[in-house]
Chain A
Amino acid sequence: MSDGRAWQGNVKARLYERVRERGYDSLTAFAEARPTASLVALADELGPDDIAAVQVFSGLVAEAERSRKVTRLVRGQLVRELSQRLPNGWPAVLDDENRLKVAVALARWGTYTPETHKERADKIGDALLVTPPPPGWRPLSPDDELLLTLLPDEEV
């Protein structure tokens, strides 16, 4: 049973210890090597019993803040959400069922977006529903062309 061990002890130390054990020098490097994995999958790989997905995300936010690559992280998170809900890519027809999937993916993405980017994420969500991307669009990394046009890096 997950008995709350993820919330005991020094969370940060544990997180970075696991990342290093797996041969990465940053959480971002570890996560970007698995661009379509869900946050839970990342957490499970680092510590199925004692690391939570939200902790991984928080770590990613901190690194992105330092390296001024928050926009890239936000794009990366949309890739993760879309991969979970729409594994076959953007639906050709936005019927009720598909619209719900897209809606949930975008809503979840909004909750995994730092404050600084919330408004932009909202607008991009609206835009994706108004002018949908080509059917089958399935971004596989934050470097996806369409994603880059929607949410270009500004910080660098």
Chain B
Amino acid sequence: MRADSPGARGTGLLLILSLLSNACASLTPPAIRGRNLRYTQYETTGSVVAAGAVSPGSHDGNVWQRTLPAHLAFRSAVGEVSGSTRRISGELSRLKASHRGIAGRARGIFVRYVDYGEAQLRWIDTELAAATRLATAASEVEDPDMQLALLRLAGPRLEAAMMGSLLLAVWFDFLHLTDAALSRHLYGVETMFVKMDRWQKMMEPSMKVLSSLEPEQVETAAQDVPALVGHLTGEFAAFLEAVHKGAMVLETVLVLKESMEALTLVSALRFSLPRLLPGAGPATLGVGLMVGSNGVMMGTRLVVSAEWVEMMRQLVRAGVLSVPAVSAAVRIQAGQVMMAEAHGELPRGVREALGDGPEVRGMRVTDRAGAGMARPPHHHVMPKEFREWFEKRGFTGEMDIDQFCVRLEQAHHQAIHGGGDWKLGRTWAGEWNRMIMKALYDAETRAGRMLTRNTVLEIVAEYMKEYRIPMNFIRWRGR
């Protein structure tokens, strides 16, 4: 998320590139390494990616050119979030060993808050692992539309993990502060406990929704995270203030000053507490966000790097992440000024740099229609009557056939299941389930071996194009 270590990123990209090249035939590597170059270089590719998702029938030769930027961006984004959770994981273990502070004081009643952090870490890591597996599956299928569809399928997981890790970083800062206050006897244990409990309750609902993976709820929760982080920042500042006021004796003041200087915040809080923390950036009140060559700037501070912006842009254009979720992440990084506006939108220039555009909004509209709108029902692409057959061929876990549902209008649904009056010929039924299952059975019999999951996906993708079923999968919600 932050603008540091561009070198490491470069190496990471190269690594991913070499990993990917094992799995596919033709690559077009030269553009990948340039940083700001990509800004313009993929200007056109970006729209091709979008167009690919729009018209499922399009065939063009440079398949990887179309999907590679999205693949790379996806891997980088996962890498970035895992990097942040790894860091927090290490810090949490360290806190658990803080016997003079959070782990030892008051017979260990504060340990539960470290445990709470670890529990969040676990679900975030689980989602990241699932997202990575989906990305691997995506890189193994040949059909570009199916590749992007699989990346999109992983989108809510990445989105939840990304927002969850931002919140977790904030939680960690609270733990760290509590630890400092406890170990140096800066604050009463009981009041401290009450406060921790309160902060946890503030954070819990959002964390819970994010870990639920219900795409629409995740989306809403993601948009609320900036305001929540804003509130927590206020709490954090107020607590610091209270500690300050309590520290009447000079000695305590010195201890306080020392411990606050030692407190390195990992979350976005550090941008929002300029007065209280030495080394934080200058106050940014009244300074707007702007897109510069280095990334998104707020005054003289770099909020997110150009690389990050480009990564998000690719993911937004491919329909993997939504503009509101990415905007929320930027607003959190921007600090309190931006978070305070509960439903504030980013300046248009920033949104456009992040890939926003009418066609992108249209792409996700089938998944997230506006509130109150009647949404067409879900349908399994792979007939659920044959669930076991698909399970034996690898459709389990995050690749379960329930993940591969589509929303279809009633007429469309009836038509592909043999209804409606579109059929001109009498001797050919063209019913979806029969077509799919016959194709899969016959292919398997003739090949003389069990089909792989990828081959099944390739076959399904082809039929989806033939029925003009948009390749936008959503998860089944049993009724």
A contacts, CB < 8 Å to B: 1-4, 6-8, 11-12, 39-41, 43-44, 48-49, 52-55, 57-65, 70, 96, 99-100, 102-104, 106-108, 110-116, 125, 129
Contacts and interface: CB of A to CB of B under 8 A. Distances in A.
Interface in B70-116: none
A100 B459 CA distance: 12
Contact of A110 (B411, B439, B455, B469): B439
10 contacts: A1-B53, A2-B54, A4-B412, A7-B412, A11-B422, A12-B424, A106-B443, A110-B442, A114-B427, A114-B428
A110 B445 CA distance: 13
A60 to B, nearest CB: 8
A99 B455 contact: no
B466 A115 contact: no
B367 to A, nearest CB: 11
A63 to B, nearest CB: 8
Given A2-B55, A7-B412, A107 B427 contact: no
Given A7-B415, A11-B422, A125 B409 contact: no
A53 B467 CA distance: 6
A6 B468 contact: yes
Given A49-B55, A107-B440, A54 B420 contact: no
Contacts of A40: 57, 59, 462, 465-466
A148 B246 CA distance: 97
A58 B455 contact: no
Given A57-B430, A61-B427, A114-B427, A107 B439 contact: yes
Given A40-B57, A55-B422, A65-B427, A107 B465 contact: no
A108 B462 contact: yes
B425 A54 contact: no
B438 interface: yes
B201 to A, nearest CB: 41
B466 A106 contact: no
Contacts of A43: 57, 466, 468
Contacts of B468: 2, 4, 6-7, 43, 52-53
A1 B58 CA distance: 12
A65 B434 CA distance: 22
B208 interface: no
B198 interface: no
Contact of A1 (B366, B428, B442): B366
A100 B142 CA distance: 14
B303 interface: no
A61 B426 CA distance: 8
Contact of A62 (B425, B447, B470): B425
B363 interface: yes
Contact of B466 (A53, A59, A61, A110): A53
A70 B428 CA distance: 11
B446 A106 contact: yes
A112 B57 CA distance: 18
A7, A49, A57, A113, most chain B CB atoms within 10 A: A7
A132 B397 CA distance: 40
Nearest to A39: B466
Contacts of B53: 1
A95 B438 CA distance: 23
Contact of A2 (B429, B443, B445, B470): B470
Contacts of A49: 55
B384 interface: no
A54 B430 contact: yes
